[in-house]
Structure 1
């Protein structure tokens, strides 16, 4: 690949721009940039929120017991 000159890469770039168009390439670039930024934020938040994740599990259990009181048991019971 090192044997390609700058002119070869310019021709390839021109063909890519003609095939996809500048607007679509701009959208792809902004989507890729947003994904990288989101990934970096997620990695930063993931290391900072390891301990609070344990505290958020407790309210879910409390909500689950409230939901269990409202549910109907579907097991059939025989009359004796």
Structure 2
């Protein structure tokens, strides 16, 4: 009950071929291959920006010091 014999596999393949046909199976495999290639391309594109050095942070320039607020304005 655990494994299939050669006859079982042949019947299974014949049924699959009758249901899907030769053209449909090759079309599905082509779509599958395109999906894998697209996935690999996406992974390669995702790594490209990470290899570039990051831009240095912008420099903050300080102006003249500001005088403290008067006591009355703080209340």
Q: TM range, normalised to the smaller chain? A: 0.5 to 0.7
Root mean square deviation of aligned Cα = 2.3
The structure number with the bigger radius of gyration is: 2
More helix per residue: 1
| Cα offset, 1:2, TM superposition | 4.6
Task: Output the TM-score relative to the length of structure 1.
Answer: 0.56
Structure 2 gap ranges (5+): 56-75
The residue number in structure 1 matching 2:35 is 35
- List structure 1 runs of 4+ shifted beyond 6 angstroms: none
Structure 1 gap ranges (5+): 56-80
Task: Output the TM-score relative to the length of structure 2.
Answer: 0.59
Higher RCO (CA 8 Å, separation ≥ 6 residues):
1
Aligned pairs, number:
54
